[in-house]
Structure 1
Amino acid sequence: MRFTSERRLDEGVLAREFTLGETPGTLWTPESDGPVPLVLMAHNNGMSKAEPRLVARAVHTASAGYAVTSVDAAGCGDRPRSAADERARAELRRALRDGEPADEAFEALVGPLVENAAPEWLTTLDALLELPGIGGPVGYSGWMALGIRLAAADPRIAAAGFFAGGFVPRAQREQAPRVRVPLLLLLQWDDEGNPRRRALDLFDAFGSEEKTLHANMGGHTGTPWFEVEDGDRFFGRHLR
């Protein structure tokens, strides 16, 4: 892991850019006298770690006393996309434009994104837990499909907050019963592209003994800011 820049933000948070192999990432850390828990904060479906809503969430969570990281895994952010990625994106755009069922196009795009991203996130987790000032346990926040993949496989993840705002591939739907950590699921009731029935069925499928569903009125990007604050309290119960 090589740190390439750092900035001290007004909130008392240190933001540092890093690279780990080909993976670029950002680490936000609070002022602290001892090790702090780590939250993995993932953006959705090929977006960027520099997306303003994600950065705002990360800074807020770091200022509450957590180390927070986000990375641009393969096919995300400014990283080159494979020819297969480009074909899958083109087919998805065509299906949506023509009003055709898009599930298989989403499957072809999102399934490989999840499988390619997961190893890079786990390698990043390994490296971050070796840094001074960062300790366990670990939380996860954000993209549900990737979160299911990670939480079902890695026992270091002790709590997860998922956004029910993206397509979840078949493989991750099948893995949902293996997610047994405390869970907070955020659902936008009127999400234009993600039927609420699918999110509710996934909520039923999760194997967690403690799972909470927060549903808010509004579209895909309308999650209220108070849910970020509730998310910090959720992590406070399970990572402190």
Structure 2
Amino acid sequence: MRFTSEQRLDDGIIEREFTLGEIPGTLWTPGSAGSATPVPLILMAHNNGLPKAQPRLVARARQTAAYGYAVATIDAAGCGDRPRSAADEQARADLRRAMRAGEPVDEIFESFIGPLVEKAVPDWRSTLDALLALPEIGGPVGYSGWTAVGIHLAAVEPRIAAAGFFAGGYVPRAQREEARQVTVPLLFLLQWDDEGNPRQRALDLFDAFGSTEKTLHANLGGHVGTPWFEVADGGRFYDRHLK
């Protein structure tokens, strides 16, 4: 892991850009974090290929870091500015065309979201290895964000101790089955009127999780309308399980 920039923000959070091989990422840490006071880590994944600098993600990461966590995000394979295959680009074009025409889109989603998840999780695990080697990060580890990647990561990565998932965003069939293997404490956020995520499918997914401690928060509004107070509720959730 190589840090390429560092700045102390107005709220005292330290923001560092890094690269790990071909993986670009950002790490936010509280100003108090250090080898004498290592802090827990939260991996914060963005949805369906959005860049790590997406403003809503950055704002959520900074607020979470202010609660006393190291927060990291990356542009995993096929996400952000990283190269996409011709097949991925064609699937995205097909998706835009189908949505404009009001046609079914499940099979198109499957054609690129499933492979994107499979490629992204190894990048997240490599990043986790490098982050836990830093003296200012002591674990345990939480996950927050994109549900499809989070399900696969939580199912295969034993270092994930708690997870917060956003129900918006397509979850491939493989991850819907894999949800039964997710047993860590879970906070599941659902926008009741999400125009891109059928409500019943999200409720069925919540039922499928194998966790014995799982909480569903449902709020009125569309895909990007998650209330800001959910960040504070998320902080309390991670406090219970990571501190």
Q: TM-score, normalised by structure 2?
A: 0.97
Shift of 1:149: 0.4
The equivalences for 1:1-240 within 5 A come to: 1-32=1-32, 33-240=36-243
Residue type at the aligned position of 1:12: G
Shift of 1:94: 1.8
Q: TM-score, normalised by structure 1?
A: 0.99
Please give the secondary structure, in 1, of the residue aligned with 2:11: coil
Aligned residue pairs total 240
Structure 1 unaligned residues grouped into runs of 5+: none
Root mean square deviation, CA, Å? 0.7
Instruction: Quote the Cα distance in structure 2 between the aligned partners of 1:177 and 1:87.
Output: 32
Instruction: Quote the Cα distance in structure 2 between the aligned partners of 1:227 and 1:155.
Output: 26
Instruction: Quote the Cα distance in structure 2 between the aligned partners of 1:2 and 1:174.
Output: 37
Shift of 1:7: 1.0
Residue type at the aligned position of 1:170: R
Shift of 1:118: 0.5
Report runs of 4+ in structure 1 exceeding 3 Å deviation.
none
Shift of 1:235: 0.1
Give % identity. 77
Instruction: Quote the Cα distance in structure 1 between the aligned partners of 2:11 and 2:168.
Output: 28
In the TM superposition, what whole-angstrom CA distance separates every residue of 1:12-34 from its partner, at most 9, and x where no partner exists? 10000000000000000002250
Please give the secondary structure, in 2, of the residue aligned with 1:116: helix
In the TM superposition, what whole-angstrom CA distance separates every residue of 1:84-141 from its partner, at most 9, and x where no partner exists? 1111111111211221100000111211111111100100000000001101110000
Instruction: Quote the Cα distance in structure 2 between the aligned partners of 1:2 and 1:133.
Output: 15
Structure 2 unaligned residues grouped into runs of 5+: none
In the TM superposition, what whole-angstrom CA distance separates every residue of 1:164-188 from its partner, at most 9, and x where no partner exists? 0000001100100000000000000
